[in-house]
Each structure stands twice: as structure tokens, then as C-alpha cells.
């Protein structure tokens, strides 16, 4: 399993903002992490919609971490950016799977995915720094 760049960027933004403890521009984060401002903007917009960051428009605008979200889990953040239906039968649609009636893999993968998320739910966003 590999985390998407959106999840990676989301966690990086949250770490960055908690360390800075100030309003910063998206370009500053993009420059410091050497990542695309355009891709980062999409992630920041999602984080803002979810309440993890606050945004301010204008020449003195920028983004900052919403301290009220510090006790949310890392798992909560990742659930917003990742698709944890890692095989098609997780979503209830078996599709063209010809072995679904005898397959035990789905149960194994569900258990492993749950263990992964349960581990990440133990860590709070404030724990990232």
C-alpha cells in the first residue's frame, strides 16, 4: 500500500503549520518542500473545507493551522485523502472477480486495513511535531 501525494502533502502542511505557529503563504510551503504549488493548493483547499486550516485572502493572507483540530487523529486526516477500498470487493462491487465465492483474501485485507487505521487513530495531529 502506498500513500498518495495528496495525503503526503496534507500531513506535510499540518506539520509545517504547527511548527511555524503563524500564517504562511502556500508558495512558502511549496518552496520549502520543493513541491508543486498547484497540487499543494488543492490539498490546502480540502484541508480548509475540513476545518484543519484557516485561510485568509489578501496581501497579508495565507493559511494557518486550526488549533481546535489538534486532537483529531492522523487516521481522520488520511481517511479524507485516501481510498481504503484497496480491492474492488471492499466497496460492495465484486465486479468481474470470478473467485469471490471462495475468496478469503478480502477478509485478510480488511483486517490488515483496519489494523493500519486503528494504529493511525492512536496518533493526534499535535503528535506530528
What does the pLDDT read at residue 95? 62
- Could you read off the pLDDT of 28-81 as tens digits, one per residue? 999 999 999 999 999 999 999 999 999 999 888 999 999 999 999 999 999 999
Question: What count of other Cβ atoms lies within 10 Å of the Cβ of residue 44?
Answer: 23
pLDDT above 80 for 84: no
Residue closest to 82 by CA, chosen among 20, 18, 2, 25? 2
Q: Are 9 and 126 in contact (CB under 8 A)?
A: no
- Going by CATH, does the domain composed of 5-128 fall within 1.10.10.10? yes
- The pLDDT value recorded for residue 113 is 87
Amino acid at each position: 500500500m502506498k500513500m498518495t501525494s495528496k495525503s503526503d502533502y496534507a500531513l506535510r502542511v499540518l506539520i509545517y503549520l504547527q511548527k511555524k505557529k503563524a500564517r504562511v503563504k502556500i508558495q512558502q510551503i511549496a518552496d520549502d518542500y520543493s513541491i508543486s504549488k498547484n497540487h499543494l493548493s488543492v490539498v490546502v483547499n480540502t484541508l480548509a473545507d475540513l476545518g484543519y486550516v484557516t485561510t485568509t485572502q489578501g496581501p497579508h493572507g495565507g493559511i494557518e493551522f486550526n488549533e481546535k483540530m489538534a486532537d483529531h487523529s492522523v487516521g481522520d486526516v488520511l481517511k479524507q485523502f485516501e481510498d481504503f477500498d484497496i480491492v474492488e470487493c471492499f466497496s460492495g462491487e465484486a465486479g468481474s472477480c470470478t473467485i469471490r465465492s471462495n475468496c478469503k483474501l478480502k477478509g485478510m485485507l480488511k483486517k490488515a486495513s483496519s489494523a493500519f487505521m486503528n494504529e493511525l487513530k492512536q496518533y493526534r495531529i499535535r503528535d506530528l511535531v
